[in-house]
Amino acid sequence: MKPSEQRKASRKVLHWKRWLWKLGLLGSIVAAAFFLIYLSELNEKVQQQFAGKRWALPTSVYGRPLEIYPGMRIGMKDFLYELSFMQYQPAHRIKIPGDYQKHRTTIELKTRPFSLEDNTEPSRHLRLRFDAQRLISITDLSTQKPVDILQLNPPLIGRFYPKHGENRVLVQLQDVPETLVEMLVATEDRKFYEHIGIDVFAILRATLTNLKEMRVVQGASTLTQQLVKNFFLTRAQTLQRKIEEACMALLLEWHYEKEEILEAYFNEVYLGQDGEHAIHGVAQASYFYFGRPLQELQLHQQALLVAMLKGPSQYNPRRFPKKALKRRNLVLSMLVSTTTIDEGLLVHASEQSLGIVEKPHSSQTPFPSFLALVKRQLLEEYAEADLQSEGLQVFTTFDPQFQRKMERAIDKKLKQLEASYRIKSKTLEVASILTNTNNGEVLAMVGGRNFRFPGFNRVLDAKRPIGSLIKPVVYLAALSEAKGYHLMSLLDDSSLEMVVNGKKWRPQNYDRKFHGNVPFYQALAHSYNLPSIRLGLEVGLDKVQQALQQLGFQRTVEFFPSSLLGSVEMSVFEVAKLYAPLASGGFFTPIQTIRSVATHEGIPLKRYPLAIEHTLDVVPVYLLNVALKSVIEEGTGRKLKKILPAHLDVAGKTGTTNDLKDSWFAGYTGDRLAVVWLGKDNNQSTKLTGSSGALAVWGEIIKSIPSKSLQLHQPENVEWLTVNQDSGALTEEQCPNAIRVPFTRDSRPTELQPCPELVTEQVQPIEVVKEKPLQTPVSKAPVKSPSPKSLDNEQGWGIFQWLKGLFE
């Protein structure tokens, strides 16, 4: 090759080299640019996701806090149920909140601190003394002083989970036990406080080891990398993902403090599976495995959590207790040289058992029907997405004590009914709700025969004809009318035929008899159909419909004459709303399930205070209530008298529909309202009337809960008069068919009908007695010696008069 050619060639090479170099530079610049873009993308991802809302948190729903005071009617058994429901744990020595100890007549416990609205209750060490029926005394053991009244922490009754099924309780770093932090760092990432997100030396070391062994035996993930992996990335084990992980770890460390990263780690870490819900975070894991809040965990329990990080399913302490114990003790022994934790404590911890609870609190709520109602009420104000992600705390009116008693009563009675009426076992369906009559709070609810099944909620969604439950509305409309109806107005119970929509309609009484002229209250007490239809038509369907709306029924329904016999369809919930204003004497308080809502940090968001929306005229409500009491005294609800204790006065109404498809009872005591519906999902006959079915269940529920007698408060312009039970005319107390009935001043009878036997006797003036029982029946004792029954046996006056009469 000629030198000139050689030069040419070398110039060519040089040229090429230069080009290559240029190309390389350009390539690097482009690559760097891409990498920068990639990094900035990652950066944005890190910042956005980490700075924003980090986790979707489930909404937690709590029951009412149990209020305890000396003299309260709660047995030791019921109190223990409450404790176990709140996951208090029996202990040999009371050390931490949530511990309790049962003795023969006392319970010693350390309560859990909590804050509700702006009220904070500290943890207290208490001794409660019980007798057979009640809590006798509460003593604060730290001061040895008696306690007047105290709220326990509200029990968790359920959650609304995020769509992807994560179950998480957030914890702030300051609430994580220091020893747990120390253990975590010592076990997982000793240089956590020094490195910048990745530990370069550890990576090199691990790479070498892995190369030597030709497989992955050692990892070098820092806590930051682990967090990045769980928080931002998939679980795929590729090189690209590793690089991404390292970059993001660096970025995370660049932007955030070590404490923030550690806190996020504690909340993100995956620690097992509860059915379809993944357990994320140490706080949730603490509830899941130990049934306690994180703050209450002891050293050996904390060590178990750290031990499980290596493989939550592999070291699941419930499934593999031996493996878990071994791993925990390994962790504990490693800590001896690497932490400041006292060696004696560590040794002591390794001697402990696992300390887990056998069964975790199920993530499925045991009270699906109540939770459904809560959700429905929440959805009126919150978006569904917020309920699944904002971690709201919802404090409700739910009472686990009442719920348990109600479930037991229903279960028992349904079995009995099915057996005695030869109904196929477990086919009788039920829906029931129990409320407090004075503040509208829902205490308990059963949406179907299977109490735990979260499916079709019959309290809310099964709309059934209500039968005679409609009648009180008709009678209220009449009593509210200016036409002067009163409890003794005579109603015509004779054959009735009318044309409705071109069709002949001949309604019948249930017993297919006609009873002639029946007093107003008796027509209701015995639930006669014909007088009810006549009354409704006379008052006007529009007026009845108006009364229905006044009582709080909001849907508009078409009203026909048959509606007067209850062809109107309603849910159990709607019926409860309808009867609530009657139960409270005419004061309309909305039915409520939620007392307050707070953020996940406990900051109050909204309170639902007690309210009386409007008031009905108390006089017709009073008169109607007297009649509804007579349903139980002498009418279709008489069976209740055999079920309930003698001192418990109640009012209510039975309802039955065609072919005995629905059996209803709605009624109330002085402080509780309950509605019971029995029926079948396939709409077949239940073989039960309201009286033989729902009433029996209702009675069993009311019998099993503490409740006050219904006291009707007599309005000022109402007076009780003695009248003839057939004609309604004024008469003397001694007459054989005299009864006492309340009248308004405007509607009081004026006609006097002395009883024939007494005409020659000295007629006593008619007494106007206030606050007298609804009717004091008069005995058939010889007229000349007035029977004690006609006298008010509550008053000394009555006895005195009677004795006087006897010796006259």
Partner 1 sequence: MKLFCLAMIALVLLFGNACRSGVQAPAPQENPQVIRAVPDTSSEVHKTSEVPGQSTKLLAPKSPPLRKNIPELSKKETTILDRDRRAERSVTQKLLRQAQQYMQQAKWKQAARVLERALRIDSSDAQLWNALAQIHLQQGHYQQAENFAKKSNFLAGGNHSLKEQNELIIQNARKHQF
Q: Report the site for partner 1 in 574-593 (rule: CB under 8 A).
A: 585-587
* Contact flag: residue 660 with partner 1 (CB under 8 A): yes
> Contacts with partner 1: how many residues (CB under 8 A)?
104
Minimum CB distance to partner 1, residue 483 (Å) = 24
Q: Which two tokens stand for residue 746?
A: 């405007």
Q: Which two tokens stand for residue 726?
A: 């057939």
* Contact flag: residue 748 with partner 1 (CB under 8 A): no
Residue 452 · residue 554 · CB < 8 Å: no
Site for partner 1 in 778-807 (CB under 8 A): 778-782, 785, 787-789, 793-794, 799, 803, 806
Which helix (H) or strand (E) segment is 664 a member of? Answer: strand 662-668
Residue with tokens 């729902």: 694
* Listed residue (645, 696, 653) closest to 673, CA to CA: 653
Residue 803 · residue 785 · CB < 8 Å: no
390 DSSP assignment: B
Whose Cβ is closer to partner 1: residue 342's or residue 659's?
A: 659
Whose Cβ is closer to partner 1: residue 261's or residue 470's?
A: 470
Residue with tokens 């058994």: 77
Minimum CB distance to partner 1, residue 200 (Å) = 58
Phi, psi of 533 (to 5 degrees): -65, -50
Whose Cβ is closer to partner 1: residue 449's or residue 526's?
A: 526
Residue 354 · residue 317 · CB < 8 Å: yes
Minimum CB distance to partner 1, residue 716 (Å) = 9
Minimum CB distance to partner 1, residue 375 (Å) = 24
In this chain, which stretch among 170-178, 327-335, 472-480, 565-573 interacts with partner 1, using CB under 8 A?
A: 565-573
Distance from C-alpha of 300 to C-alpha of 307, rounded to nearest angstrom: 10
Residue 587 · residue 715 · CB < 8 Å: no
In this chain, which stretch among 8-16, 194-202, 751-759, 776-784 interacts with partner 1, using CB under 8 A?
A: 776-784
Binding mask 95-124 for partner 1 (x = CB under 8 A): ----------------------xxx-----
Minimum CB distance to partner 1, residue 568 (Å) = 10
Site for partner 1 in 498-537 (CB under 8 A): 505, 507-513, 515, 522, 526-529
Minimum CB distance to partner 1, residue 120 (Å) = 12
> What is the helix, strand, coil percentage profile of the chain, to 5?
40, 20, 40
Q: How far is CA 571 from the centre of its chain?
A: 18
With CB under 8 A as the contact rule, the residue among 45, 641, 703, 748 that binds partner 1 is: 641
Burial degree of 403 (CB within 10 A; 0-12, 13-18, 19+): buried
With CB under 8 A as the contact rule, the residue among 272, 635, 652, 679 that binds partner 1 is: 635
Q: Which two tokens stand for residue 349?
A: 């911890």
Of 188, 260, 418, 569, which residue is the catalytic one?
A: 188
Whose Cβ is closer to partner 1: residue 87's or residue 707's?
A: 707
Q: How far is CA 456 from the centre of its chain?
A: 17
With CB under 8 A as the contact rule, the residue among 647, 682, 750, 765 that binds partner 1 is: 647
Distance from C-alpha of 397 to C-alpha of 59, rounded to nearest angstrom: 16
Whose Cβ is closer to partner 1: residue 291's or residue 699's?
A: 699
* Contact flag: residue 71 with partner 1 (CB under 8 A): yes
Minimum CB distance to partner 1, residue 520 (Å) = 14
Q: Is 790 a catalytic residue?
A: no
Whose Cβ is closer to partner 1: residue 165's or residue 670's?
A: 670
Binding mask 127-166 for partner 1 (x = CB under 8 A): ------xx-------------xx-----------------
Whose Cβ is closer to partner 1: residue 347's or residue 500's?
A: 500
* Contact flag: residue 633 with partner 1 (CB under 8 A): yes
CA distances for 471 relative to 242, 468, 628, 669, angstroms = 74, 5, 10, 19
Site for partner 1 in 712-741 (CB under 8 A): 713, 715, 725-726, 736-737, 739
Q: Which two tokens stand for residue 703?
A: 């019998």
Q: Which two tokens stand for residue 596?
A: 């307050």
Looking at the chain, how many residues does it have? 808
* Contact flag: residue 93 with partner 1 (CB under 8 A): no
Residue with tokens 């348990």: 404
Site for partner 1 in 682-711 (CB under 8 A): 689-692, 706, 708, 711
Site for partner 1 in 232-251 (CB under 8 A): none
Whose Cβ is closer to partner 1: residue 325's or residue 735's?
A: 735
Distance from C-alpha of 203 to C-alpha of 196, rounded to nearest angstrom: 13
Site for partner 1 in 333-372 (CB under 8 A): none
**Neighbouring C-beta atoms of residue 639, cutoff 10 Å:** 15
789 DSSP assignment: G
Whose Cβ is closer to partner 1: residue 457's or residue 787's?
A: 787
CA angle 246, 247, 252 (to 5 degrees): 100
Minimum CB distance to partner 1, residue 528 (Å) = 6
> Buried (b) or exposed (e) across 724-740, using 16+ Cβ within 10 A?
bbebbebbbbbbbebbb
Residue 167 · residue 277 · CB < 8 Å: yes
Residue 397 · residue 593 · CB < 8 Å: yes
With CB under 8 A as the contact rule, the residue among 52, 344, 502, 609 that binds partner 1 is: 609
* Listed residue (777, 767, 778) closest to 734, CA to CA: 778
599 DSSP assignment: -
Q: Which two tokens stand for residue 575?
A: 């019926």
Minimum CB distance to partner 1, residue 529 (Å) = 6
Residue 686 · residue 590 · CB < 8 Å: no
Binding mask 178-207 for partner 1 (x = CB under 8 A): ------------------------------
Site for partner 1 in 388-447 (CB under 8 A): 436-439, 441
Of 389, 468, 563, 691, which residue is the catalytic one?
A: 468
Site for partner 1 in 261-320 (CB under 8 A): none
With CB under 8 A as the contact rule, the residue among 72, 141, 354, 783 that binds partner 1 is: 72
Minimum CB distance to partner 1, residue 492 (Å) = 15
Minimum CB distance to partner 1, residue 494 (Å) = 13
What lies within 8 Å, CB to CB, of 594 at 6+ separation is 374, 377, 378, 394, 395, 396, 397, 608
Q: Is 337 a catalytic residue?
A: no
Whose Cβ is closer to partner 1: residue 284's or residue 532's?
A: 532
Distance from C-alpha of 54 to C-alpha of 8, rounded to nearest angstrom: 65
Distance from C-alpha of 723 to C-alpha of 720, rounded to nearest angstrom: 9
* Contact flag: residue 565 with partner 1 (CB under 8 A): yes
Minimum CB distance to partner 1, residue 473 (Å) = 13
Supply the residues annotated as catalytic: 188, 468
